[in-house]
Chain A
Amino acid sequence: QDTTVIGVSIPAATHGWAGGMNFHAQEAVDRLEETYPELDFVLATASDPAKQVNDIEDMVAARGIDALVVLPFESEPLTGPVKNVADNGAWVTVVDRGLSEEGIEDLYVAGDNPGFGRVSGEYFADKMPDGGKIVVLRGIPTTIDNERVEGFQSAIDGSGIEVLGMEHGNWNRDDSFTVMQDFLSKYPEIDAVWASDDDMAVGALAAIEQAGREDVQFVLGGAGMKEMIKRVMDGDEMIPADVTYPPSMIATAIELTALNFVSNAPVSGEFVIGSVLITPENAENFYYPDSPF
Chain B
Amino acid sequence: MTVPATATVASPEPHSAPAALALRAVYKSFGPVQILFDIDFDLRPGEVHALIGENGAGKSTTMKILAGYLSATSGSVELDGHPVSFVNSEQAEDQGVVMIHQEFNLAEQLSVEQNIFLGREIRKGLFLDKTAMRTKTRELLQRLNCDVDPDARVMDISVPDKQMVEIAKALSRKARVLIMDEPTAVLTNRESEVLFEQVDRLRAEGTAILFTSHKLDEVARIADRITIMRDGHRIMTKSAADLTQDQMAEAMVGRELSNLFPPKTGADADQPVLEVTDLEVPGFVAHASFHLRKGEILGFAGLIGSGRTELMEGVVGLRSHRGNIKINGQDIEINGLSDAKRAGVAYLTEDRKSRGLLLDKGMRENLTLLSLEKFTTGLIDRKSEEAALDKSINDFDIRAPTREVLVGNLSGGNQQKLLIAKTMLSEPEVVIIDEPTRGIDIGTKQQIYEFIHTLAQAGKSIIVISSEMSEVIGLADRVVVMRSGRIVGEVEGNDVNEETIVRLAMGLEGEQQGHE
- A and B touching (Cβ–Cβ under 8 A): no
User: A residues within 8 Å of B by Cβ?
Assistant: none
User: B residues within 8 Å of A by Cβ?
Assistant: none
